[in-house]
Homo-oligomer: A and B are copies of this chain.
Amino acid sequence: MSTSSPTSSTPTLSDIALRAPESGIVDIMNYGRRKGGVMPLWAGEGDLPTPAFIGKAATQSLAEGETFYTWQRGLPELREALAAYTQRLTGQALESERFFVTGSGMQSIQIALQIALDPGDAIIVPSPAWPNIVAASGLRGADVLEIAMPFVDGRFTLDMGAIEEAAKDEKTKAIFINSPSNPTGWVADLETLKAVHDLAERHDLWIIADEIYARFVFGEAGLQGSNPKRAPSFKDVDPLSSRVIYVNTMSKNWAMTGWRIGWIEAPVELGQVIENLIQYSTSGVAAFMQRAAVVALNEGDAFVDEQIARATTNRDLLAETFAPLNRLQVSAPDGAFYLFFKVLGETDTRQLARTLVDEIDVGLAPGTAFGPGGEAFLRMCFARDPEQIAEVAERIARWISISA
C-alpha cells in the first residue's frame, strides 16, 4: 500500500452542487482573516460568548452520560420551553407539538424548503436578502424569484405589485419573508404582513417566515402594545395559519451562534414529515446541547434584554456619527442589528470591503453578497460592545473624509 496519484478523473458534479455560489460574506471573512487584527463586523455575530449558566447545563448533561440517540423532533422538555417562550412573546397559547428542534436556523430553512418546493418549483425572495436562503433554494433545484425592494427615503419597502406578478406563475409555491430583515433592517408592519398573507392565500403559497430578529426592533417599528417589545409577526395576522412555517435559531438572542441549534414552528399536521426530513439529513441534535437551549429559553431573558440594550445604543450611536456624512446613505435600521449603507461614488463594494480591511482594519460584508437591490451597500453588524462600535464609526467617518 502506497500513496499514488489519482488514476481516474472526477465524474461530473451535479448541476445543482456546482450552482451553489461561494458566500460573499465568507469571501470577505477569508480575506480579512488572512490579514489579522480586523474588527470582524462582517458576520451576524456578536462579541459575547454564550453565558456560562447556559453552557453549564450542557456540561452537566454530558457528564451524566446523555450521549445516546435522542428524539428526532427534539427533547420534549425543549419543545415545551420553545412553546412557553413563544407564548411569553406573543401572548398566544401554543402546543409544544408545533415545535421541532433542528441543527441550526439554516437547517430549519433547508427543511422548510424541502416541504414547500419540488425541483423546478419557484420561491419568491424579496431582495436584498441573506444569501443563504437564495443558495439553499437553488440547492433544492428551485428557481428563486428575487424581487428587488425599492429604496425610498432611506428605507427599503416591499414591491407588492412585483410580488403579485411573481405569485401568479403556477410554479411559484412559496414566499420567504424575513422581518426584521438581515441585511436591510426593514421591519414589516402589520398591514404589510396581512397583505402578504392574503396574497399567499390567493395564490396558495407557503410562507416561510424568518422572524429571528423579532426582539431587535427600534423606535416605532415595534408592535403596538406588545410586552415584551417585538416586531409584528404573521402570528398577529393568523396565529395558527396553516401556510406559515417559522424558521428560528438559538444563535442570536442567546449568543449561541457556534452551537448550531435552531427550531421550526409549523402546523402540527406537518409533524411526521418534519421528523422524516430531520431523520434523513442530520438525525437530530445532541441531547446535551438541547439541555443548554432549555436553560437559555427558561432563564435567559435578562441576557437577551442586555443584548437588545447594546444593539439599541449602537444603532443610535451610528445614526449620530453618520448623519453629518453626506457621502453616506443609510438604510435606517428599524430592526435586527445591521447597518446597511452606501458610500456614494463607490460602485464596487466587493473591492470597497477589501479596501476597508486593508486601510482601517474594519471588516464589513459587501452588498454584492445580498442580491439585487443591495449591490451598492455595505453591511455592518453592530451587536457588539458600544466602545468598539464607536471606534469603528469614527474610523469610517475619518476614512470617508480623507478618501472624498
Contacts and interface: CB of A to CB of B under 8 A. Distances in A.
Contacts of A241: 6-8
Interface in A234-254: 235-236, 238-243
The 10 A-B residue pairs whose C-beta atoms are closest, nearest first, are A49-B65, A119-B119, A50-B67, A20-B276, A10-B242, A67-B258, A14-B118, A6-B242, A3-B93, A135-B280
Given A17-B114, A49-B65, A239-B3, A132 B257 contact: no
Interface in A41-80: 43, 45, 49-50, 52, 55, 58-59, 62-63, 65-70, 72
B282 A282 contact: yes
A243 B269 CA distance: 41
Contacts of A283: 104, 106, 132, 260
A22 interface: yes
A197 to B, nearest CB: 8
Given A3-B92, A10-B269, A240-B4, A279 B110 contact: no
Contacts of A242: 6, 8-11
Given A70-B258, A93-B3, A240-B4, A139 B14 contact: no
Interface stretch (A151-159, A285-293, A367-375, A385-393): A285-293
Contacts of A280: 20, 106, 110, 132, 135-136, 139
Nearest to A10: B242
Contacts of A276: 17, 20-23, 135
A166 interface: no
Nearest to A173: B11
